[in-house]
């Protein structure tokens, strides 16, 4: 009988390779977010950066390019990445202190746009959509390797509220997570130098990974696993070189510290502004069930004997650290704390052995991701001007 494997319908091929199905779903969702977002701003790709009009008006427009969407009475961190793509080495005074270490995606954007400022919004967005899609593929591959199958519900832990927020505002977490997962997979295949390079690149995209990889390094040193302990060191080297260049040579201020004196676990409710508008208040109150969800994750990880597993140890300490010593402003907005936890949430189901527990955690993540998507659909349009 003649084989018909090569003539299978597309959906059968996707079922045969669930990682591809996962990547396809991630790609479709990402493109859907982009189309809905830019449709409100004349289909202008620069709208994805959600740049404050006031900030853009105060800068030298001859350096910025033209036809930029400026949000009136609003904005978010995406403007930092646009400005860094225009000025990747910080020599024009456009790079913003506090975001100056998150350079990889702006560097790649500047390189691939060949210095043409008009191409920057489209190139940056293409990189982020690619990072989401490839990251989804890697996550599914790792989940299947760990649990023997790919569950669609597990997608919610990759597409967590933090990574969706970052993608919606054109931030650097999608690239950072994609590279972190590539390093995680390379390490499992014992390609340690390749893993080290991916981890270093991940830190250059988003410095959040430094704490996670630092904990990994300490635990492996404690267990005298010297060869694998060396893997995170390249990430530290990349981080240190960036700090030397931007902070010592260029004179940028250090970013927000990784700790403060206020513990979210003891002062959570005091962070809520009950006089805020209804939408903002609802978003602030949402962090309370999110906090309960994080405590649940910590308890699940703790039962996996973190003493004997470096990644489990790193995740437990990371979740506790972010809760105990994170700048409290992040907790007043669930999307802010979600971005701090985006990498860790995606790694959790790849480290725990129980597939059913991983699925239950994914259902919890799905709730918060669903709330974010509903909020996004309800509030994706803001007053804006075009800046030329």
What pLDDT digit, counting tens, does each position of 195-234 carry?
999 999 999 998 888 889 989 999 999 988 888 888 998 8
CA torsion through residues 47, 49, 53, 59, sign:
negative
pLDDT for res 325: 66
Total count of domains within the chain: 1
CA atoms within 13 A on the CB side of 248: 6
- Asked if 256 and 327 touch (Cβ cutoff 8 Å), the reply is yes
Residue 275 has a pLDDT of 62
> Does 2 fall in a domain?
no
pTM for this model (two decimals)? 0.89
Q: Which of 1-10, 39-48, 115-124, 257-266 has the lowest mean pLDDT?
A: 257-266
Least confident of 37-41, 56-60, 91-95, 304-308: 91-95
3 located within any domain: no
Beta strands in 54-94 (DSSP E): 68-71
Residue 4 lies in a domain: no
Residue 15, domain member (yes or no): yes
User: Which one, of 245, 267, 257, 155, lies nearest residue 210 by Cα?
Assistant: 257
Could you list the residue range(s) of the whole structural domain that residue 70 is in?
10-387
In sequence order, the 6+-apart residues with CB closer than 8 A to the CB of 171 are 77, 78, 81, 165, 339
d(CA 308, CA 12): 40
* DSSP letter string, 258-317: S--S--HHHHSGGG--TTS-HHHHHHHHTHHHHHHHHHHHHHHHHTT-GGG-HHHHHHHH
Specify if 347 maps to a domain: yes
Residue 1 lies in a domain: no
Domain-embedded: residue 5: no
In a domain, 53, yes or no: yes
pLDDT at 332 over 70: no
Q: Which of 124, 113, 65 is nearest to 92 (CA)?
A: 65
The conformation of residue 77, written as its DSSP 8-state character, comes to T
Q: Could you report the per-residue pLDDT of 237-266, keeping only the tens digit for each?
A: 888 888 888 778 777 765 544 444 344 444
């Amino acid at each position: 009988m003649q084989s018909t494997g090569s003539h299978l319908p597309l959906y059968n091929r996707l079922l045969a390779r669930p990682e591809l199905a996962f990547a396809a779903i991630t790609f479709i969702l990402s493109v859907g977010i982009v189309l809905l977002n830019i449709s409100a701003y004349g289909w202008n790709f620069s709208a994805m950066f959600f740049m404050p009009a006031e900030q853009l008006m105060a800068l030298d427009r001859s350096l910025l390019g033209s036809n930029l969407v400026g949000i009136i009475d609003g904005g978010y961190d995406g403007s930092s990445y646009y400005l860094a793509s225009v000025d990747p080495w910080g020599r024009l005074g456009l790079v913003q202190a506090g975001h100056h270490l998150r350079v990889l995606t702006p560097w790649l954007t500047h390189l691939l746009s060949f210095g043409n400022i008009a191409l920057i919004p489209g190139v940056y967005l293409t990189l982020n959509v690619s990072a989401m899609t490839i990251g989804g593929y890697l996550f599914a591959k790792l989940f299947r390797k760990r649990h023997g199958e790919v569950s669609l519900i597990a997608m919610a832990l990759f597409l967590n509220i933090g990574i969706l927020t970052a993608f919606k505002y054109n931030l650097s977490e999608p690239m950072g997570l994609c590279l972190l997962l590539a390093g995680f997979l390379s390490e499992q295949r014992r390609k340690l130098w390749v893993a080290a390079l991916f981890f270093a690149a991940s830190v250059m995209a988003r410095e959040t990974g430094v704490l996670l990889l630092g904990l990994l390094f300490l635990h492996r040193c404690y267990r005298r696993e010297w060869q694998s302990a060396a893997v995170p060191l390249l990430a530290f080297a990349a981080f240190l070189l960036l700090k030397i260049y931007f902070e010592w040579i260029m004179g940028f201020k250090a970013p927000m510290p990784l700790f403060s004196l206020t513990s979210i676990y003891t002062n959570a409710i005091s962070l809520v502004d009950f006089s805020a508008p209804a939408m903002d208040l609802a978003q602030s109150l949402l962090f309370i069930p999110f906090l309960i969800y994080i405590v649940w994750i910590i308890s699940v990880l703790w039962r996996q004997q973190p003493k004997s597993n470096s990644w489990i140890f790193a995740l437990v300490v990371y979740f506790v650290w972010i809760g105990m010593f994170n700048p409290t402003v992040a907790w007043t907005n669930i999307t802010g704390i979600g971005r701090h936890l985006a990498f860790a949430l995606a790694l959790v189901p790849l480290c725990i052995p129980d597939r059913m527990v991983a699925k239950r955690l994914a259902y919890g993540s799905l709730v918060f991701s669903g709330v974010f998507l509903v909020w996004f659909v309800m509030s994706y349009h803001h007053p804006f001007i075009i800046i030329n």
